[in-house]
Amino acid sequence: MYHFFIQAKQIKDGRVYLEGKDVNHIINVLRMKTGDKISLTDEDGVCYTCSIVLFDKEIIQLEILEIKDVSHELPAKVTLFQGLPKGDKFETIVQKAVELGVYQIVPVITNRCIVKLDEKKKKNKITRWNTIAESAAKQSKRTYIPKVCDVIDFSMAVDMAKRFDEVCIPYEQAEGMSSTKDFLCRLKPDMNIAFYIGPEGGFEEYEINKAQEAGIKPVSLGKRVLRTETAGMALMSMIMLTYECQSSDKEQD
């Protein structure tokens, strides 16, 4: 079942009124018909199962069949600070991080970043990345659309560490998995969590030192050196699995 996001103001008398780009997507891309069902989520995380009852060039009317106050979100807010990679790798990072449950993504300029963005390019890139985030949220049936924030430098990213309950930075020189295990074991519901991923070539040693001075703990992702587009997915998967297992264990108690 295809999934879309709405605002509560689009609901009236048991019907939902879709407008804008969703209309074009449903009619011309998905080629849906009257009677087809879709799922919707509003800004409060309320989920609706609906059936299409009327097509118009600018508006689609849907009848609400079922309402569920459920969430597909992790019980914590996870922020990824991602060093800007070359090419379109950042698009893949955004897509996969959203699928895995990230709350927001902050693009970061580090010393080894090759990418140079002027203000116009930044604006266009951020718009593009947020479009990808919305698409990934729809595909994975998220109840929240993660935000890709403005590009910042590494110093500013490190200064933001104090806003979070738990922070870590994967580093290839970190030894053993004990620090990673300890980080995951400290994760609890309702936390604000952050982790920092470097660009191609990783972080400079002085950047790691600066991060440690700010209380950001180095962790290992295993014996293999991962690409920048893989490292964030690996750690985000660990975080997701930790919370999913916690939820499963709670349900069984």
What is the length of the chain? Answer: 253
pLDDT of residue 118: 86
Chain segment 40-83, per-residue pLDDT in tens: 988 877 889 999 999 987 899 999 999 987 777 899 999 999 99
Q: Which of 56, 67, 80 is nearest to 6 (CA)?
A: 67
- Check if the beta carbon of residue 168 is closer than 8 Å to that of residue 195: yes
155/52 Cα distance (integer angstroms): 50
Options 2.40.240.20, 3.20.20.220, 3.40.630.30, 3.30.428.10; CATH of 2-68? 2.40.240.20
CATH number of 77-252: 3.40.1280.10
Q: Are strands 217-219 and 152-153 parallel, antiparallel or unpaired?
A: unpaired
Residue 98 has pLDDT above 80, yes or no: yes
Name residue 145's amino acid. Answer: I
92/10 Cα distance (integer angstroms): 32
Chain segment 103-125, per-residue pLDDT in tens: 999 999 999 998 888 888 899 99
Domain extents in the chain = 2-68, 77-252
What is the DSSP code string of 183-225?
A: HHHT--TT-EEEEEE--TT---HHHHHHHHHTTPEEE---SSP
Band (247; pLDDT cuts 50, 70, 90) = confident
- Check if the beta carbon of residue 96 is closer than 8 Å to that of residue 124: no
Band (194; pLDDT cuts 50, 70, 90) = very high
Q: Which of 26, 252, 11, 10 is nearest to 138 (CA)?
A: 26
Domain 2-68 and domain 77-252, same fold? Reply is: no
36/105 Cα distance (integer angstroms): 34
Chain segment 198-231, per-residue pLDDT in tens: 999 899 999 999 999 999 999 999 988 899 999 9
Q: Helices H, strands E: what count in the chain? A: 7, 13
State phi, psi for 28 to the nearest 5 degrees: -95, -25
